[in-house]
Amino acid sequence: MSAFEVSGLTASFGGERVLGPLSLRVDKGDKVALVGRSGAGKSTLIRLLYQEVGRDASLVPQDLGLVNALPVFHNVFMGQLDRHSTWYNGWTLIRPFAADRSVVSHLLGELGMAEKLWTPTAALSGGQRQRVAIARAIYRQSDLLLADEPVSALDGPRAHQVMALLRDRFATSVVAMHDVELALAYCTRIIGIQDGRVALDEPSDRLAASDIMSLY
């Protein structure tokens, strides 16, 4: 049974085709890495997939989508805004419930940011902001992750830690990545995008980094 399947996806900007036509089937349990050079269409594909599956997925967009004026807690809590009533969300903005504070704090601890719970998001570094967006995606508790370069601002050890966490927390994922070694280490399937089309689709255990570099 497939997690989702799309057919005939296309996208154009300024009258120029940047993606497709492209068809894709992702099965439950797939950990897909989208690889390819900048401008190949990976980010566009992530956006189109999110439009298709929407509420069924957790999203980490490339621009992160954080609210700078709010502290870290509330940015993470936004992952479940649509799961609660208006009064619950309004009250949480003023005085968060202890259970929510505990869950978010624990999650931030796993990402090495427990002390940032009430820090204004605008005061965070690029890598910290990226981890807040990742925490929000995990907090949503979806089975499917769609993420666009989720660890691009993290150093080597932290990037490995976060990729392992994402691998373990989501049953199925489609992650646009530039780092080929991380893609091979934490994903089960590699899809190479070139000029807006699928140029490679193989299990990661059948590939080496050299097999992918021709896409760059």
Count of domains observed in the chain: 1
pLDDT bucket at 216, cuts 50 / 70 / 90: confident
- Rounded to an integer, the average pLDDT of 109-121 is 97
pLDDT in tens, 41-95: 999 999 999 999 977 899 999 999 999 999 999 999 999 999 999 999 999 999 9
What lies within 8 Å, CB to CB, of 197 at 6+ separation is: 20, 22, 41
User: Domain residues for 99?
Assistant: 2-215
pLDDT bucket at 113, cuts 50 / 70 / 90: very high
Q: How far apart are CA 41 and CA 28, in angstroms?
A: 23
Give the pLDDT confidence score for residue 2 in this predicted structure.
65
136-169 per-residue burial string, b: 16 or more CB within 10 A, e: under 16: bbbbbebebbbbbbbbebbeeebbbbbbebbbeb
- The CA radius of gyration of the chain, in Å to the nearest whole number, is 18
Could you tell me the CATH number of the domain that includes residue 97? Answer: 3.40.50.300
pLDDT in tens, 130-179: 999 999 999 999 999 999 999 999 999 999 999 999 999 999 999 999 99
pTM of the predicted protein model: 0.94
